[in-house]
Amino acid sequence: MRDASRIRPSTGAPGLVLSGGERRAVTRALPEEVPVAITVNGTTQAVMMATPADIEDFALGFALSEGIVAEAAEIGSVEALDLARGIEARLWIDEGRAEALGARRRAMLGPVGCGLCGIDSLEEAVRPLPRVRAEAAFTIAEIVAAAEDLRAHQPLHDLTRAVHGAGFLQPGRGITHAREDVGRHNALDKLIGALARDGVPPARGAFVLTSRVSVDMVQKAAMAGAGLVVSVSAPTAHALRLAEEAGLTLAAFARGETVEVFSHPARIIERRSDVA
């Protein structure tokens, strides 16, 4: 796991446990969140509060999921620099491509709970999505196991109990990649960036989330080309409508031995032998 930042992702903090007549000192690990400015050819595109880990993956995934570039090969270089007030993730791309970003500049501080902060118009919030063509299929057993398997790939959550996770599920292989962040959309961007670094097309697998499935999560998944999003929580109604339109399979409430499928169920099969 690459991490260019020297800022630790968690910090120990003293606290006091109060329970009935008991008073007990305790030290808790709390996740850090710092401003991360994503710049393209020297121009700021977004400033998001994020966990200071896997920043280069974050920048690369953000560029792909937000349509700044169509593929990782369009990025000449990416680097993360620790500054006095936060981290700057610098992307360098072809100048012509950079000039086309003017209409979509995002230069506001985005809180961790929102993946759409700073956009310039309502049209951008509901931008048309590409049709997902991924053909990878998954058994019910693989899907219901994925949410539990993701827990084994969340060391920062185990330490702090305060971050989201995003994992990549591949048929017959389980969770192969995972990333964490205080922001659910940041975790997904980091995962998309990690896959791009390793040359793994998202269409070969599914995104597994510990968070609710909101509009921005569906948008990012569709832009990346993944065919299935699995979550332990619920989708929003608008997110479901977008998933339907984009051809994305949306599976939620994956807990225990059950999962609820809300759109395009053809990618979910009973057993591996059912794959043509």
Sign of the CA dihedral running 237, 220, 202, 247: positive
C-alpha span between 154 and 170 (Å, rounded): 18
Of 236, 250, 232, residue with least CA distance to 149: 232
C-alpha span between 109 and 216 (Å, rounded): 16
Tell me the catalytic residues. Answer: 114
- Identify whether the C-beta of residue 131 lies closer than 8 Å to the C-beta of residue 142: no
Strands 164-170 and 174-181: antiparallel
> What is the Cα 164 distance to its own chain's centre?
9
Torsion angles phi and psi, residue 212, rounded to 5: -65, 160
C-alpha span between 226 and 218 (Å, rounded): 10
